[in-house]
Each structure stands twice: as C-alpha cells, then as structure tokens.
Amino acid sequence: MISEKKSPKFSFEKANQIAHEVKIFAKSFIKKGMPLLEIAEKIEDKIFELGGKPAFPTNLSINEIAAHYTPSYDDKTLAEGLLKVDFGVQIDGWTSDNAFSLDLENSVENKKLIEAAEKALENATKIFNKEHSFGEVGKTIQEAISSYKFQPILNLSGHSITQYDLHSGFNVPNFNNNDNEKIKKGLFAIEPFSTNGAGKVQDGNSSGIYQFVFPKTPRSQTAREVLEYIAETFNTLPFCQRWIYKKFQARGLFALRELENNGNLHHFAQLVEVSKGKVAQAEKTIFVD
Ligand code: CO
C-alpha cells in the first residue's frame, strides 16, 4: 500500500500547483533584452523555492528554434522575437511539463501563432479523456491550428509521463495520425506547436541538454564522480551542461565530453523548423483518472 502522500497523483498535483505559480511568476518578469541565462535561473530557483525540482533544464527557444535551447553556463543570448518558455516541475520523479510563448517584438503574426497554439491546447484538453482516441486529439489540434492558416509541427508530439520518465511510450500527436487507441489512465503532456513554416523540425546545434542512458564505468576519476552525481541528482531525467558547470566548473565540462563518448549520456540536439518558420508552443500536463 503506498501512502497517500507518496502516491503518483498526490506528487503530480503538488508539482502541477508549483508549475502554475512558476508560470505566473515567469510571465511577470520576462522582458525583451533580458539574458536567457538570467531567465532560466530565475525560473529554476523559483521551482526550488516552492518545494519542487526542475524536471529538465528550462527551454528558452527563440523564433525558428522549436525546442531544446537551454542557455549554456556562459550564454550571452538575450530574449527577443517569439520566445517559447518550456519548463518542468517534479516531485519524487512525477512531472508537470508546461510551456507558453511570448511575443517580444510586438508582431501581429507572432500573436496569431501563439493564439493558434493556445486554442489547439484548449480544444485538445476538452476532449482528452478515455472516450477519445489519440488520433482524435491530434485531429482537434490540427484543425485548430489550420483555422489560423498555420501548420502544426508534425514530428513533435505530446507524451505520456511516468516516474522519472518524460516520454514513457504514448504519443499525443499534433495531427490526425489515425491512431484509434483510446486514451488511458495516467499522466499526459499535451503540447501543440504552430508554425508559419513547413511544419517540421530537424536537428540543429547541440543543446547542452543530456540524459543518463547507460551505466558503463568511465576511465577518469572525474568522469566517474560526475556520473555518480548525475545518477543521484537527476536519475533518468534530462539535465544540462550549465548545471554540471555550477557544481564542478571546467572539469565537469571535460567529464561530460568523456561520458558522452563513453555512451553514458545521450546529448540532445536543438530542434529547428526546417524552413526557418517561426514557432509557437503551448503545453500542459493532465492526469487522466
Ligand atoms: Co513536453
């Protein structure tokens, strides 16, 4: 018998409440010209302050970068354009994954892209229950975004979430993929992406976001030490170079390279819209009971 206070639902609801507060906080302070590094740290500090842990590094992706941009430890990039803020809060490994987009250049096009993603999320949420299939949710998202004359990003999708696993098997598509499987009990992130481009992303530069994938002992003492820290601190959730630098400074960066070469870590790429179209995103996590 798991006690009520350790149940997945209890942990998720607490994480979700923190995420709600963090979202309000982030919207209140993010301004054009602010360093992305400062934004990411403020968001992550706030998550800790409220009693949660970041489930992954805060993604702050601008314009055609759809996802997986997190500031490096010495990042000088400033907030501008169409900014996506994607962050996660976890309690005991149970995650609430959330995102919103901001128009920082007073552009009508950006505002419409954001509205399209938000509308798609709202409509998808309404039908997200055991009566409906994943394909129907995708169809709803696609229709909402198309009604604004934009494209959903076809090769990005929402996902089921289990403990310490952000992509635990089920995809929540952003178009009608004819998946007739009905939605099940559990945690799901719904995340429509709208674009004025072609509607597809491809891998861009390295992101500095990593995930522990394989426990093979590395050669150097430092790499062993860093790997142990990663396993204890992040378990199998994503983390970033910036966090490792904070703990180990330059030797941590060398260790990351060794761990990646040794096959211990997966290194994520930034995801960039193929035709350099602008991308907006909206996301929330739902517990289906
Ligand atoms: Co997500």
pLDDT tens figures, 202-240 = 999 999 999 999 999 999 999 999 999 999 999 999 999
pLDDT tens sequence across 100-155: 999 999 999 999 999 999 999 999 999 999 999 999 999 999 999 999 999 999 99
| 187 and 216 both lie in a single domain | no
Domain of 67 in residue numbering reads as 8-203+272-288
| 76 and 193 both lie in a single domain | yes
Contact criterion met (CB below 8 Å) for 66 and 273: yes
Question: Which tokens sit at 159?
Answer: 């996902």
The question of whether 86 is a catalytic residue gets the answer yes
The question of whether 97 is a catalytic residue gets the answer yes
Alpha carbon of 218 to ligand 1 centroid (Å): 31
For the chain, how many structural domains are there in total?
2
Alpha carbon of 96 to ligand 1 centroid (Å): 9
| 78 and 146 both lie in a single domain | yes
Q: Is residue 1 part of a domain?
A: no
Nearest to 87 by CA among 110, 62, 60: 60
Task: Give the pLDDT of residue 1.
Answer: 46
CA–CA gap between residue 134 and residue 249 (Å, rounded): 44
Q: Which amino acid, one-letter code, is at 72?
A: S
CATH label of the domain that carries residue 258: 1.10.10.10
Confidence bin at 169 (pLDDT 50/70/90): confident
Q: Which residues, including other chains, have CB under 8 Å from residue 83's CB and lie 6 or more apart?
A: 30, 60, 61, 62, 101, 102, 104
Q: Which amino acid, one-letter code, is at 40?
A: A
Alpha carbon of 51 to ligand 1 centroid (Å): 21
User: Mean pLDDT, the chain, as a whole number?
Assistant: 96
| 107 and 220 both lie in a single domain | no
Alpha carbon of 191 to ligand 1 centroid (Å): 6
| 139 and 259 both lie in a single domain | no
Q: Is residue 222 part of a domain?
A: yes
One of 97, 103, 118, 273 is an active-site residue; which one? 97
CA–CA gap between residue 73 and residue 75 (Å, rounded): 6
The percentage of residues in the chain with a pLDDT greater than 90, rounded to a whole number, is: 95
One of 44, 159, 258, 273 is an active-site residue; which one? 159
Alpha carbon of 67 to ligand 1 centroid (Å): 10
One of 44, 64, 86, 118 is an active-site residue; which one? 86
Q: Is residue 3 part of a domain?
A: no
| 224 and 86 both lie in a single domain | no
Question: Which tokens sit at 230?
Answer: 């990663």
Alpha carbon of 284 to ligand 1 centroid (Å): 8
Task: Give the pLDDT of residue 106.
Answer: 97
Q: What is the DSSP letter of 219?
A: S
| 171 and 241 both lie in a single domain | no
Q: Which residue stretches of 88-128 are H helix?
A: 108-126
Asked if pLDDT for residue 91 goes beyond 80, the answer is yes
The question of whether 283 is a catalytic residue gets the answer yes
Confidence bin at 6 (pLDDT 50/70/90): confident
| 183 and 222 both lie in a single domain | no
SS3 state of residue 103: strand
| 142 and 261 both lie in a single domain | no
| 122 and 230 both lie in a single domain | no
Say how many Å lie between the first and final Cα of the chain, rounded. Answer: 18
Asked if pLDDT for residue 5 goes beyond 80, the answer is no
Q: Is residue 171 part of a domain?
A: yes
Alpha carbon of 149 to ligand 1 centroid (Å): 24
CATH label of the domain that carries residue 55: 3.90.230.10
Task: Give the pLDDT of residue 231.
Answer: 96
| 231 and 154 both lie in a single domain | no
| 260 and 282 both lie in a single domain | no
The question of whether 179 is a catalytic residue gets the answer no
CA–CA gap between residue 171 and residue 179 (Å, rounded): 10
Task: For 260, list phi and psi in degrees, rounded to 5.
Answer: -70, -45
One of 167, 203, 228, 266 is an active-site residue; which one? 167
The question of whether 266 is a catalytic residue gets the answer no
